[in-house]
Structure 1
Amino acid sequence: MVRNMSQNTINTALRWIILTGIFIIPFVPLIVSPSMFFPFITGKNFTFRILVEIVFAVWLVLMYRDASYRPKFSWMFAAIAGFIGVMTFADLFGENPIKSIWSNFERMEGLVALLHLGAYAIVAGTTLRTEYLWGVFAHTSLGASLIVGSYAALQLVGSVATHQGSRLDATLGNASYLAVYMLFHIFIAAFLWARQAERPWAKWVYAPIILFETFILYHTATRGTILGLLGGTLVAALLVSIFGRDTPRVRKIAVGFIAAVVLIVGSFLAVKDAQFVKDSPVLSRFASISLEERTTQSRFIIWGMAFEGFKEHPILGWGQENFNIVFNKFFKPVLYKQEPWFDRAHNVFLDWLTAGGALGLLSYLSLFGAALWVIWRVGALSVVERSILTGLLAAYFAHNFFVFDNIVSYILFFSFLGYMTSVGHRVRAAETDATIIEPPSHVASSIVASIVIASLMFSIYFINIRGVLAAQTLLRAISQQETVDGNFALFKKATSYHYATQEVREQLLRFASDVGRANIPQETKNEILTYAVNEMAKQIQIQPNDTRLLLFYGSFMDQLGQREQAIELLTEARRTSPGKQLVWIGLGNTYLNQGDYETMIEVFREGYELETTNQRMHLAYAIGAIYADRRDIEKELLTEDFETYYIWRDAVVNAYASQKRFPELVAIWEKRVSAQPDNAQYNLSLGAAYAQNGEFRKAIGQIQKTIELNPDFKETGEYYISELRAGRLP
């Protein structure tokens, strides 16, 4: 008996440790780590991972000691295990297994994140074993959401700054991340309200929370999530109206809600061109939705590219974190106006389709299917509760069509899956005959605990502490230090952690590029440049098909004057992304710097013909024509339609100057002065162009005008005038 009491005491202590860790997790969204690279991402992820590793380790010991905590088969558990299993194979045999497993600081997803999320869902599902505990957990998460929402409200009134533009982002750093966070908690509050509907205070607590968080969601101006909220609530209301025969009052409210939503949407469509709509930052975004909108068109194109990637690897896909390879390989030149380095399809389903192939997408969808099975066939829930949870899934499903997940939405989704696992676990336990299992011996328990503790310490350091140190060191490395040597030492330290190596080495390359132009001792410069070259060569070996790396590295080698190696790298970049004109520009510029004008013109021509409306490509081709003295091409490209763009590009000025094309220089500076007559620098540059073109009298007039605009220039200007009057160029 004494032994059993001791066993129970230990088991209770282990259970409380797990519960404490689980109940801390809802506060992870509050974490911002300004001392780390990507402060809105890294701090949250590392905290979540450490908490999960601790509770999972303790759960392993508890599960060994008490069989009742061992997971029992349910379709929800099978779906979670199947999804993670499929993605494990996809990641291990994908395009870049290392990146698929570890991801990077910007996203912190990959297989490591997926394993932690799965472990969290299973531990929560087998440890929170009663509806009461899940209710407390839901209220805890709702309380945390009110803190986040209050921060967003302070941003709305201007007391606290937003972090990305004018849209609310609170402690999440991104408006769409905040939007989906609010979306989940709106439905959580509705679910809790339904559970407490008979209590008179319920409506005075949950209704204001729902209204407040809907208000915050609206002001994120995240269209996909707001549409998801409308769709999810309509689904919930429709289900109540169909199946809620036992709750006629709620059923009438649901029907009225459906009618109200239809009326509101119809009214908005009728007045979408009104001035008050145009003046609203949120409503104007909805009014602009159309198939012709640039964002809509680009999304459709990117979705098509994702499907092309799926067709190339249809079974297990490319592995997580490799959408950038797909994006670059199937890049359409018409997307040149968009951000050039997409790493997500902005559609969760296509993301899983490209990452895990057909098996990956089907296993992901099985999470929704298993959850619906639990909601409608297993759980002892009321019709209203089932409808609200189904509405939540529908809203999240719709949201996922337009954006991508992040750690906060993942935590909420896998918390939901944990709840579904718990329901299935309880039903399965009730159906299974209770079997008394003799508790393990003290020695056996001690051995298991020792192994688990040792594994926990290893995982916390290897998976998390290294990453924390690398993120902190990298941020310091890219910040201003007292000396260049100080920054260099930090970069070497950051690379030594072998964590998020692509981001570390990209930042190192930028640092080295700046160093190459800096006025520092040549010995120091050579050491830094050599180190950067060697590190980037290592990264290229890991990611040989990464267009971004090849382009950055090739451009860097061009800067160093290593033209043959630069051409080799940039040619490879072109192979990995034949439709990206940015790569063609880089390759053409390298041939220009090498003096191979014939090849340069051919590269620029082929790149230009991919998409002739790209002004940047147009300009590069025109400048190449100037250097190559191909006036036929130059005349064709530098037309009046293009004039308002090219006359303001200093690269064109430099090209004409290098070729001593002074009449063309005069024409450009005359147009700039005509547009900005009070710009002293433009007037002086026009005077210089006149002088170089032999028009000394005009040059003197422009210098006198410059002196009028800038009296501080008088002494120098008068010297120039005296030289010109003497017939000499100053």
Structure 2
Amino acid sequence: MTRAWQALSFLLLAPAAIPLIYIGGVLYPYIAPKTFLLQGSAILALALFAYLALAGQTFFYGRLRALTTWIPALLLIVAYVTSFFGIDFYQSFWGLFARGEGLLTLTAITVFFYLILFSADHVFLERLVKIIAIVAGIVAAVAVLQWITMLFGGKAWFLPPVTGRIGSTFGNAAFLAGYLGMALFVILVVLRDSSGIWRRVYQTAAVLSVFAILFAATRGTILALLLACGVALVVTAWKGEAKTIAPLRRDGSPDISSDEMYRGRTKRGARYGLVALALLAGLFFMFRAELAQSSFEPVRRIASISLSDGTVSSRLFIWSHITGEALRHPLSGYGAEHIDQLFDKIYDPGKILEQWFDRSHNSFLDYLIQYGVFGLALYLVLIGMFAAYALRLYRRDTYIGLLFLLLILTYAAQNFFVFDTPSSLWLLYALFALLIILLREEPASQLSFKHLPHIVPGTIATLIALLIVPAVILPLYANFLLTKGYVYHLIDVNRANAYFERGLALGTYADLEYGYQAYDIYTERQAVQLSGENRIAAYEYALSLLTANFKKYPYDARTATYLGHVIDTAPPEVVVDDSFDQQVLSRAIELSPLRAQAWYMTANISLRKADALPQDDAKKETYYREAIAILEEYVQKEPMLPVPRYILTTLYYKLGNTAIAKKWADEAYLLYTAPDTAAARPAVKYYIAVKDWQHAARFLADLVEDNPSDYDVLYDLAKVTYLAGDPAAALRIVEKLRVENPTILGTDPNFLDAITAYEQSKK
């Protein structure tokens, strides 16, 4: 049993190291491996615990007498009940690779909470916090190295790749900052009693964590830590910080006067800190406009916070509207992992930056949506009881108690702007168990079962351990096969499809994401780069997979929209079923009424029919009018987008109604406040047709900025710029093309002669 006990201790410590995990060769390499390891460790740990408990090993069962210990179990029960009566329990239980959450993950984290509660002694807890501190330091070091390499424009082979802001081994700046914002306080807890080389290690880890959070530029965590810093200074300025153990006089009695002097010094230091913090805040607000233009991203992002900021206004719109939807089912909620269904309902492209969303960027609101008011209440009670236990610890040990109070304050404050990951939620639960253990002494005891045959504990443990096959191994293999198919999707379509079929045959929850990936692969790459039979095979596979998911997940607007887009980009050799396409797009509009793509593709059904007719066929105008009616209906619902107006402009121009075409173009131009290729393409067609070269040049410039390697568009910009009266700018573009793609210049000899003549005239 000694080896089983050691294995259990190892598995209970394993989640502390999971933030380090990043494995290539699978889909979502930053998230999926962490999720599978967390779930697998929980299953194996539960199996070992069952074996040991049934075999007579003693555990700290008496800790369950504290009512607080039942909060995670009650929250899990509420999550299961609300999900059972929610939109789709199957999806709620399994979740998605992309997020790594769902009831299974919540169950695993809750299992870890109780196993730590039953198993941990003070030696285990000391190991736990030290591992958390060391892992956080490594994660922070990776983040800082990423920032340094980005600063110098390089890339290190041993570092995870960076897209956007640094994310270290989390691959996401917000996930990184949220985790380090909590782990920083654990590092400071461990730092106090460390010495020698380990003290320097923890000091370095703390400094690196602060820099990593700063470089990640996640405003929610930075503001939460500033709040925690302010609270710490206020508390210290008010009460001071007593030494843990007062120094002794020669006679062996405690030197109270020395302790009072120390307390006085910390009070003065905290007061100076408050003055400095207030001064910095004043200077920040005084020079906020200048700081908003800073080249240092963290400062720029903090200074740019305002109601007019795109991200802020988008978040506020989501919160206000999604709360209204959540309150339609305040008691039952919608079930785990179904926030995206509410987001689709309230989605407004004129107000929201993100296309698809499965979180509200507010953990408290997420709990309300998923688990109703009871789930939110239990989540708040969990945070409140964490704070209450930290306050009790503060009365025993001022330093450590204050750090845990600041930790839960930071967690609650940052989660008002972001959301939990499995790593941060596990950390919360593990530290909550730690607080309960520190403040409640209970003796170890055995379960009161009668003596069981030796085969029983082993059999039960084996049955529990076998759950790892459907829960972890099969989904992991499905993920691997999906990745293999992705590798071959251009070089061998049939082989890629075979890998996809093998993955789907496993019968896991991966089918929904297989559909998402099939859509992305086909519309972004295969439809553009393949031709002939290969393109048809790719289309038919994406169509069949998304059609199956369309039937299986009738609530998923994303699947319906993606299926409509695949049909809309069908190869010319394929006959499209317009009635089925209409059915698909009607559902997409029903599920997400203001999402533009479904409206555009509905209009395309009529436009496809028009394009199939001879030029002089009278029915062409009828189909154009049908498309116009659809787009005009959408414009009434969503009045802030330039794209549908420019599409209407081109349609009316084709019909010869130039006055109405100009009216729509003028309205669209006023709404075009930021580069948008979807609007720029039809705008360019119209402005070139009416020989409005100045406007055409503006939109072509936006297209070039979006894709500088599109030399056809760049050459068009040169010609239009010349016609707009700026031959010097046109010549600069031609000189660039002479270097990068000289052959394209010969495609328009008249323009080439004109620009060459201008060039000669300037010599």
TM range (shorter): 0.7 to 0.9
Alignment counterpart, residue 502 of structure 2, candidates 489, 493, 499: 493
Cα distance, 1:354 vs structure 2: 0.6
Give 1:455's aligned amino acid. Answer: I
Counterpart of 2:625 in structure 1 is 598
Give 1:123's aligned amino acid. Answer: L
Q: Report the CA distance shift for 1:640/1:100 in structure 2 as closer, same or farther (over 3 A).
A: closer
Structure 2 counterparts to residues 263-662 of structure 1, below 5 A = 263-274=279-290, 278-335=294-351, 338-377=353-392, 381-423=396-438, 426-427=440-441, 429=442, 441=451, 443=453, 445-457=454-466, 459-480=467-488, 482-497=491-506, 498-513=508-523, 522=533, 529-560=539-570, 561-595=576-610, 596-639=623-666, 642=669, 649-651=680-682
| 2:177–2:221 contact (8 Å) kept in structure 1 | yes
Q: Report the CA distance shift for 1:243/1:82 in structure 2 as closer, same or farther (over 3 A).
A: farther
Moved more, 551-560 or 388-397: 551-560
Q: Report the CA distance shift for 1:720/1:91 in structure 2 as closer, same or farther (over 3 A).
A: same
Alignment counterpart, residue 54 of structure 1, candidates 44, 49, 60: 44
Counterpart of 2:219 in structure 1 is 223
Q: Matches of 1:44 and 1:168 in 2, distance apart?
A: 18
Alpha-carbon displacement from aligned partner over 1:427-466 (angstroms, at most 9, x marks no partner): 3x25xxx8777775361x4212212212312x11101111
Q: Matches of 1:616 and 1:555 in 2, distance apart?
A: 17
Q: Matches of 1:56 and 1:17 in 2, distance apart?
A: 11
| 1:508–1:532 contact (8 Å) kept in structure 2 | yes
Q: Report the CA distance shift for 1:234/1:192 in structure 2 as closer, same or farther (over 3 A).
A: farther
Helix, strand or coil: the match of 2:327?
helix
Q: Matches of 1:686 and 1:669 in 2, distance apart?
A: 11
**Unpaired runs of 5+ in structure 1?**
1-9, 657-662, 690-701, 722-730
Counterpart of 1:176 in structure 2 is 174
| 1:505–1:539 contact (8 Å) kept in structure 2 | yes
Structure 2 counterparts to residues 23-42 of structure 1, below 5 A = 23-42=13-32
Q: Matches of 1:684 and 1:45 in 2, distance apart?
A: 49
**Unpaired runs of 5+ in structure 2?**
150-154, 244-259, 571-575, 611-622, 705-709, 721-730, 753-763
Helix, strand or coil: the match of 2:604?
helix
Alignment counterpart, residue 128 of structure 2, candidates 112, 137, 147: 137
Moved more, 253-262 or 606-615: 253-262
Counterpart of 2:98 in structure 1 is 106
Q: Report the CA distance shift for 1:539/1:157 in structure 2 as closer, same or farther (over 3 A).
A: same
Question: Do structure 1's residue 664 and structure 2's residue 689 form an aligned pair?
Answer: yes
Cα distance, 1:570 vs structure 2: 1.0
Alpha-carbon displacement from aligned partner over 1:388-441 (angstroms, at most 9, x marks no partner): 1111000010110111121221222222122134346x43x25xxx87777753
Q: Report the CA distance shift for 1:75/1:259 in structure 2 as closer, same or farther (over 3 A).
A: farther
Q: Report the CA distance shift for 1:340/1:192 in structure 2 as closer, same or farther (over 3 A).
A: same
Cα distance, 1:374 vs structure 2: 2.6
Cα distance, 1:471 vs structure 2: 1.2
Structure 2 counterparts to residues 74-93 of structure 1, below 5 A = 74-93=66-85
Q: Matches of 2:717 and 2:144 in 1, distance apart?
A: 52
Question: Do structure 1's residue 211 and structure 2's residue 207 form an aligned pair?
Answer: yes
Q: Matches of 1:157 and 1:668 in 2, distance apart?
A: 44
Moved more, 39-48 or 666-675: 666-675
Cα distance, 1:564 vs structure 2: 1.5
Q: Report the CA distance shift for 1:376/1:600 in structure 2 as closer, same or farther (over 3 A).
A: same
Q: Matches of 2:456 and 2:487 in 1, distance apart?
A: 47
Moved more, 205-214 or 368-377: 205-214
Cα distance, 1:66 vs structure 2: 2.8
Cα distance, 1:618 vs structure 2: 2.3
Q: Matches of 2:272 and 2:694 in 1, distance apart?
A: 67
Q: Matches of 2:462 and 2:719 in 1, distance apart?
A: 75
Helix, strand or coil: the match of 2:487?
coil
Q: Report the CA distance shift for 1:405/1:437 in structure 2 as closer, same or farther (over 3 A).
A: closer
Q: Matches of 1:720 and 1:184 in 2, distance apart?
A: 63
Structure 2 counterparts to residues 15-30 of structure 1, below 5 A = 15-30=5-20
Q: Report the CA distance shift for 1:235/1:493 in structure 2 as closer, same or farther (over 3 A).
A: same
Alignment counterpart, residue 156 of structure 1, candidates 111, 125, 147: 147
Q: Matches of 2:676 and 2:44 in 1, distance apart?
A: 60
Q: Report the CA distance shift for 1:454/1:653 in structure 2 as closer, same or farther (over 3 A).
A: same
Alpha-carbon displacement from aligned partner over 1:327-364 (angstroms, at most 9, x marks no partner): 1112234325x121111101111111111111111111
Counterpart of 1:696 in structure 2 is none
Counterpart of 2:53 in structure 1 is 63
Cα distance, 1:616 vs structure 2: 2.1
Give 2:179's aligned amino acid. Answer: Y
Q: Matches of 2:19 and 2:717 in 1, distance apart?
A: 56
Normalization by structure 1: what TM-score? 0.83
Give 2:564's aligned amino acid. Answer: G
Counterpart of 1:3 in structure 2 is none
| 2:184–2:209 contact (8 Å) kept in structure 1 | yes
Q: Report the CA distance shift for 1:464/1:598 in structure 2 as closer, same or farther (over 3 A).
A: same
Q: Matches of 1:402 and 1:280 in 2, distance apart?
A: 22
Helix, strand or coil: the match of 2:337?
coil
Q: Matches of 2:175 and 2:201 in 1, distance apart?
A: 25
Cα distance, 1:209 vs structure 2: 3.5
| 2:393–2:401 contact (8 Å) kept in structure 1 | no
Q: Report the CA distance shift for 1:594/1:571 in structure 2 as closer, same or farther (over 3 A).
A: farther
Q: Report the CA distance shift for 1:301/1:435 in structure 2 as closer, same or farther (over 3 A).
A: closer
Q: Matches of 1:63 and 1:384 in 2, distance apart?
A: 36
| 2:133–2:202 contact (8 Å) kept in structure 1 | no
Q: Matches of 1:339 and 1:509 in 2, distance apart?
A: 18
Moved more, 325-334 or 640-649: 640-649
Structure 2 counterparts to residues 241-252 of structure 1, below 5 A = 241-242=237-238, 248=260, 249-250=262-263, 252=267
| 1:27–1:144 contact (8 Å) kept in structure 2 | yes
Q: Matches of 1:61 and 1:508 in 2, distance apart?
A: 43
Helix, strand or coil: the match of 1:638?
helix
Cα distance, 1:491 vs structure 2: 1.4
| 2:165–2:173 contact (8 Å) kept in structure 1 | yes
| 1:316–1:360 contact (8 Å) kept in structure 2 | no
Cα distance, 1:490 vs structure 2: 1.2
Counterpart of 2:188 in structure 1 is 190
Q: Report the CA distance shift for 1:508/1:675 in structure 2 as closer, same or farther (over 3 A).
A: closer
Cα distance, 1:667 vs structure 2: 4.9
Counterpart of 1:694 in structure 2 is none
Q: Matches of 2:16 and 2:210 in 1, distance apart?
A: 19
Q: Report the CA distance shift for 1:122/1:573 in structure 2 as closer, same or farther (over 3 A).
A: same
Normalization by structure 2: what TM-score? 0.80
Give 2:41's aligned amino acid. Answer: L
Give 1:449's aligned amino acid. Answer: G
Helix, strand or coil: the match of 1:332?
coil
Cα distance, 1:623 vs structure 2: 3.1
Cα distance, 1:192 vs structure 2: 2.6
Cα distance, 1:164 vs structure 2: 4.2
Q: Report the CA distance shift for 1:202/1:590 in structure 2 as closer, same or farther (over 3 A).
A: same
